Amino acid sequence: MIIDSHTHIDEAGFWLDPPETILRLMDEAGIEQAVVMTYRDAPLPGGSDPLAYVADACRRYPRLIGYARMNPRHGEQAVRELERAFRDLGMKGLKLHPVSYIMHPSSPETLELLRTAAAWHAPTLFHCGDEEFTLPYQIAQAAALVPEATIILGHMGGYFHVEDAIQAALTYPNLILETSAMPYPAMIKRAVDLVGAERVLFASDGPGCDPTLEVAKVRAAGLSAAEEELLFSTNIERILARVGR
């Protein structure tokens, strides 16, 4: 059983990836379920509703699990929209990409969204790479300020900040590491050995990153079968089982 904790669907803007694209790649890779989110942040002006788009895809394809990708610059409106996503649209998590909206991960507006997600017992998936506003120790400041939030470091630090992500996770127990796109199988093993297999999630960042290759990366890390099972499914199942309860 494999659940992919980070993939994308969208049909507006720069990348055109309808749900059928990730579903085809999931089949190729032997992945049963996937967390999906748009490339665009909600809310958007002009009537376009990325949250409804994700919710509709999840209704049509029950293998997909929706996260709400939000822009904290919209303040109270963003909080209300996130509430709607959890309450009415069946969303299971919050996605934040600070490069997209240029705001520090510990800004007051961002912390309000983290608190909202935490109130629903829903995880927050942060893009965590090598650019300013996405660095592990920057996101760790948010983790320190909202200890009740479960924060997933997507890409676990990218190319140059993987060790920082591991060290931040050692300091803050509410940080979870996520494997997508990060190119070093050995660092997955290091994360499991230091932080614990219970706090590392498999994800692909598909369809741009090939889910088959991303699965192979985890298998190349030299984990035990029990550890692989935690990464591939048990951990995210445990996290998502609490949402809304």
Partner 1 sequence: MTDLYDAEVRFGQSLYGYQLDLETLNRQMERHGIARAVLCPVRPPSYDLSPANDAVAAAVASDPTRFVGFARVDPWQGERALAELDRAVGDLGLRGLYLDPWEDHFVISDALVDPLVARAAAGKLPVMVTGGYTNFSHPSQLAALARRHPEATIVATHGGQLNISGLLLADAQIMLRLAPNVIIETSGVYREDFIEDCIAEFGPGRVLFGSGTPIFDQGYETLRIRLAHVDDAVKQQIGWDNIARLVG
Binding site for partner 1 (CB under 8 A): 97, 99, 127, 129-131, 134, 155, 158-159, 181-186, 205, 207-210, 212-213, 216-217, 220
Q: How far is the CB of 141 from partner 1 (least distance, A)?
A: 20
- Tell me the closest approach of the beta carbon of residue 189 to partner 1, in angstroms: 11
User: Shortest Cβ distance from residue 19 to partner 1 (Å)?
Assistant: 16
Cis peptide before 45 (omega within 30 of 0): no
Residue type at position 245: R
Pick 66 or 207: Cβ nearer partner 1? 207
**Structure-token pair, residue 126:** 């942060």
CB distance 195 to 170 below 8 Å: yes
Q: Report which of 165, 215, 223, 217 is spatially closest to residue 3, judged by C-alpha positions.
A: 215
Q: Nearer Cβ to partner 1, position 93 or 207?
A: 207
- Edge-first strand listing for the sheet containing 200-201: 3-8, 33-37, 64-69, 93-96, 124-127, 151-154, 175-178, 200-201
Nearer to partner 1, 121 or 127 (CB): 127
**Least distance in angstroms from the C-beta of 129 to partner 1:** 4
Q: Which is nearer to partner 1, 183 or 244 (CB)?
A: 183
The CA distance from 191 to 156, in Å, is 9
- Cβ of residue 128: shortest distance to partner 1, in angstroms? 9
Nearer to partner 1, 99 or 119 (CB): 99
If you search the block for the tokens 């609490």, which residue do you land on?
Answer: 242
Q: Where are the beta strands (DSSP E) in the chain?
A: 3-8, 33-37, 64-69, 93-96, 124-127, 151-154, 175-178, 200-201
Measured distance CA(13)–CA(18) in Å, rounded: 12
User: 167, 139 in Cβ contact below 8 A?
Assistant: no
Looking at residue 71, its amino acid is: N
Cβ closer to partner 1: 1 or 186? 186
- Minimum distance from CB of 182 to partner 1 (Å)? 7
Distance CA 96, CA 13 (A): 17
93 versus 158: smaller Cβ distance to partner 1: 158
Q: How far is the CB of 205 from partner 1 (least distance, A)?
A: 8
